[in-house]
Amino acid sequence: AGRYGGLLGINTFGLVSGLLVLWAVIARANKGHRKLWVIPLATGILGLFLSKSGSSILATIGAILFFRLAFKRKRTTQGIWLLQLALIGVLGFALALGSLRLLRPGDLFGLVSLSEGSYAQRVMIAYGALQIFLSHPLFGVGWQASSTKAIIGDPTFNEILMQAFPKLPAHYFFLERSTSLHNLYVQLLAELGIVGFSLFVYGVAHIGKTIAGILKQVPYQSPFKRLALFNATGLVYLLIWWNTNPLFGGQTESIFAVTFLSFLAALWRLQRQNHKRERFVNLNVFMEKGLSH
């Protein structure tokens, strides 16, 4: 109740709003001129308030904290950095908890007692997904199979869930209507097993290493630096977002992920071309000076 999504829908509206806030923070940190970063910041915060999207709020806070720790870290000792990490973690948790209590108090209190609300239902779904994984640990039940009537709608499976979450209303379960697992990571475990999940982790780690290499090749004074940081941090934002959302393919967040990766590849190529052009210009200047002498 009281949530607004406009033409985009609540989840997509919250997703885009969080990305606007993230862009504003990165633009401000990289000396965005004329204070134009204020516009996406105000628009994004308003969008988060209207959508009341817990996924977007958590992803926004998490991505901003990641950006501060990964890209704005000052030269300090390891001990001081770990202390800063702990303090930022506590601050982020408190900010997220306060935001959810302000915007979604009913769901938050229902989560504490596991009695009602979408958050409590998400916990129940995650528990169910882990039960599916434990029953099929190696290869899972098959891609997109967990949301079928045969798996999540199975009466025996639902009876186990009802016993584990006795306070939840009966209509929260899946005897009458199947649903997705609402979490990419437990979805991968349930549907693809430890083999598929391990391949996913390997892929994410490999992509992360490649992106880190790209960012190192983009100097701070480069005109592409701000965009590169946003696209890289935007991927972290999506990884956090997927903690409460499944993966179907063709969704807004999936399109964003591909777009961010494509932009990073394009920016890397543009930076290389720019670097070669600068070297060529410097070489010509050097040769002209040499000939003049």
Q: What is the pTM of this model?
A: 0.87
3 state SS of 32 = coil
- State residue 52 phi and psi, 5-degree precision: 55, 40
3 state SS of 245 = coil
Q: What is the pLDDT of residue 182?
A: 84
Q: How far apart, in whole angstroms, are the C-alpha atoms of residue 142 and residue 196? A: 10
39-70 tens-digit pLDDT: 999 999 999 999 988 889 999 999 998 998 88
Tell me the pLDDT band of 74, cut-offs 50, 70 and 90.
low
118-163 tens-digit pLDDT: 889 889 999 999 999 999 999 999 998 888 888 988 899 999 999 9
Tell me the pLDDT band of 73, cut-offs 50, 70 and 90.
low
Q: How far apart, in whole angstroms, are the C-alpha atoms of residue 65 and residue 56? A: 14
Give me the helix-helix angle, 54-71 and 78-103, nearest 10°. Answer: 160
Tell me the pLDDT band of 283, cut-offs 50, 70 and 90.
very low
3 state SS of 124 = helix
Q: Say if residues 77 and 48 touch (Cβ distance below 8 Å).
A: no
Res. 178: pLDDT tops 70: yes
DSSP, res 73: -
